[in-house]
Structure formats: C-alpha cells, structure tokens
Structure 1
Amino acid sequence: MKKEILFVLLNEFADWEGAYIAPNLNCGVEPGSPSKYIVKTVAVTKDPVVSIGGFKVLPDYAITDIPADYAGLVLIGGMSWFTPEAERIVPVVKEAIENKKLVAGICNASVFLGMHGFLNQVKHTSNGLEYLKMYAGPNYAGESHYIDGQAVRDGNIVTANGFSALEFSREILYALEADATEKIERSYRMNKTGVWEE
C-alpha cells in the first residue's frame, strides 16, 4: 500500500512550489517507474483553499482528521504563513518531527519553521538569512546552521528558497528514497534543461 505525503496548503499558496514534487511522488520519478507514495492535501479546515494563481483546491483532510500513518508533510509557501491560521499547523509539524517523518518547507513555509524553533538544530536554508531572521523573530536561533543554498536536506527536514522548486523536489525525493539516485538526477536535469537523456 502506498504511503501518503500530505501537502499543507493555506490560502494564497504558491501553486508552482509543489508542481514538480506531486507528480514525481504520485506517478513515479520516470514514466513507468513504480511509485511508493500518494499525494494528499491538508488545510486547516476542509473548506476550499485558493492559490496565488487562482487554483481552487478541496483539501482531502482538515488538520483535525489527518491519518496517523502518513509519511511526511510538505509545507507549500505563500503569504499566509505569517497569519493566525498558520499557527494551527504548529502541533501537526511538531508531531511529525517528533515521529521522524519528513517535514519540508519552501519559501515562507521555511520561515514558519524557523519562527517556531524547528530549524534551530538542523542545517537549513530559506529566502536569505537576513530575511529569515527578520520574519522568524526571537524563536529562531539557528543562524549557525544556515546554508546559503537553493535547497538543504538534513535528515527528515528539507528547506528551500522560493525560487528553487526543482531543487526542493529533488531533496524531498532523496529524503523519501522515492527512486534510485540516477533516476532522481535524470528527472531533475530533464526538468531543468528541457532535454530527456536516453
């Protein structure tokens, strides 16, 4: 049975930041490859959430009815990670980290992880160190672990800046052992260059 990866969506989520991850997990890294995972969506409630680009998503789960056996959380960025609504996601993330599940955050979702102290002991990146420090506030004390890179994976924690959706996807695929290294790299290069390698 496939394991569920939950995409956490808030209103005004950034459509493009999950665009590479979802099909690679749902359908396999390459055409015909087996898939170990299935993507589901979760929001604070089961009410529709609307992306920055206007896509309306009806979540599979509210935060109150998430199944216990999911394999990871992918927090998709956007401007709502600094709102009271986002605060309701904190216990879900805390529990996932405690249970050693994947927790991945891109763009302002990475700042959200910093705001709540989740990045203080792990290597991570975001939209720039100064940006992270300014918006994450006093609970962020992970400056010595900050890496100025596109995407960073440290154990089950993956972070990325908002311009690195492809690199974010690649690190998530590695963290989940979604397929062989050569397939993950070939898929990454194909999406980056537009050329399929035989």
Structure 2
Amino acid sequence: MKTVQFVLLDRFADWEAAFLAPALREGVMPGHPGKYRVTFAAPDGRPVRSIGGLRVQPDCGLEQLPADCAGLILVGGMSWQTPQAAAVVPLVEEALRRSILVGAICNAVSFLAAHGYLNDRRHTGNTLDMLRAWGGAAYTGERLYEERQAVRDGLWVTANGTGYLEFTRECLLALEADTPEAVAASYAFNKQGFCKE
C-alpha cells in the first residue's frame, strides 16, 4: 500500500480534501476497499487550523516525501503566498524527479503558477487573471489554461476552489484508486446525492 501525502498550511480550505482523502483510505464506494495510506504534512510538523476552525495535528513536517509516496496533494487555502509556503517547493521538485502525482486546488494552483510549474502543462485554477497576478513573469502558461473545474495532464491535476469533486475524481483516476466505472459512480453519488434536483 503506497502513501499519498497531503500538504496543509494554516487557514487551509476544509472542504478541498474532504472527499479525496477518505476515498483513498477507505475506498471510493462501499465495498471497494481503499488502496492508499494517507498522511498529512504541515510546516515543522506543527498543528494547523483550517478556514472553518478545524485544528489538525499533522503526521509530519515538510522535509521530504515518503519513500513509498504515490501522490502529493496541495490543499488550497489562504496561506499560499506566505513564507511557510516556500517550504513546499522542494516537495514539488522531489515529486517531479520521482514521477509522482502532483495535485493542487484553489490557491495552491496559483502557488504553482508563481513558481513556473504550469508553463508546459494543461491546467486550470481559480481564474486566469489570478494565475497571471500571482505568477507574474514566472507564469507563461496562459495558452494552456482551461476554464474547467479540474484538469488532469499526465501526473498533474489542478482545480479551482469549487471543483473539489472534480479534483477528487481526476486524482482518483490518475492514481488508479479504483476502476473508472467505480470512480464515476462515486463522483455521481457525491455530486447528485440520493435525489436529483
């Protein structure tokens, strides 16, 4: 069983990992066992608090990815322009070297733009204007921007802050967490619930 590591910074967005982490650990649908171990990392391994006030004691700091790491998930929030976010750059570099999935949602996508990671791969984000503003001269990938909830390009998944279900779906597919049919069924269930409106 391989590990998927989630990065949480202070004021992280509670909802942006709320579907993906359980699906990896416990399975995408009842009766479909999970295929991954999930760990949470934060700066210096210290507790972080979400936008909603949830206090999380992480499993580890941001020193390096686990030896068995299959995915690095950058959870959005309000601290991706702070000095503590800079500690995430070496993890992204390590993921690149090791051909590990990188998933980013909301402001974490803008963080990737600011460090030049989106210039040669299809992506989305909160808005193109926001990627330009955060990325400045480091962001030259606007021709590859797609106005969609989530975009998967090989081992990279990006999503806007309201695309958490689509982000979950694309990460699950990229990680082959279950069959495409089971992932699609899970997405439809979470999107529509028991009643279609």
| 2:23 paired with 1:24 | yes
Deviation (angstroms), 1:113: 0.8
SS at match of 1:148: coil
SS at match of 2:103: strand
Identical aligned residues as a percent:
52
- Number of the residue aligned with 1:191: 190
Does the 8 A contact of 2:24 with 2:34 survive in 1? yes
- Number of the residue aligned with 1:12: 11
Deviation (angstroms), 1:67: 2.2
| Per-residue deviation, residues 55-94 of structure 1 (Å, max 9, x unmatched) | 1111111112542221111100001000111011101111
Moved more, 76-85 or 132-141: 132-141
- Number of the residue aligned with 1:147: 146
- Number of the residue aligned with 2:71: 72
- Number of the residue aligned with 1:156: 155
Deviation (angstroms), 1:195: 2.4
SS at match of 2:69: coil
Deviation (angstroms), 1:46: 1.3
Structure 1 vs Structure 2 CA RMSD: 1.1
Matches of 1:35 and 1:172, distance apart in 2: 14
Matches of 1:166 and 1:133, distance apart in 2: 25
Does the 8 A contact of 1:189 with 1:195 survive in 2? no
Does the 8 A contact of 1:17 with 1:106 survive in 2? yes
- Number of the residue aligned with 1:3: 2
Number of aligned positions between the proteins: 195
Matches of 1:41 and 1:172, distance apart in 2: 16
> What is the TM-score when the length of structure 2 is the normalising length?
0.96
Moved more, 175-184 or 28-37: 28-37
| 2:114 paired with 1:127 | no
Matches for 1:93-104 after TM superposition, within 5 Å: 93-104=92-103
Does the 8 A contact of 2:9 with 2:43 survive in 1? yes
> What is the TM-score when the length of structure 1 is the normalising length?
0.96
Deviation (angstroms), 1:136: 1.8
Structure 1 unmatched ranges of 5 or more: none
Structure 2 unmatched ranges of 5 or more: none
Matched residue type, 2:83: P
- Number of the residue aligned with 1:46: 45
| Per-residue deviation, residues 120-171 of structure 1 (Å, max 9, x unmatched) | 1100000111111012221111111111110000000000000110000000
SS at match of 2:4: strand
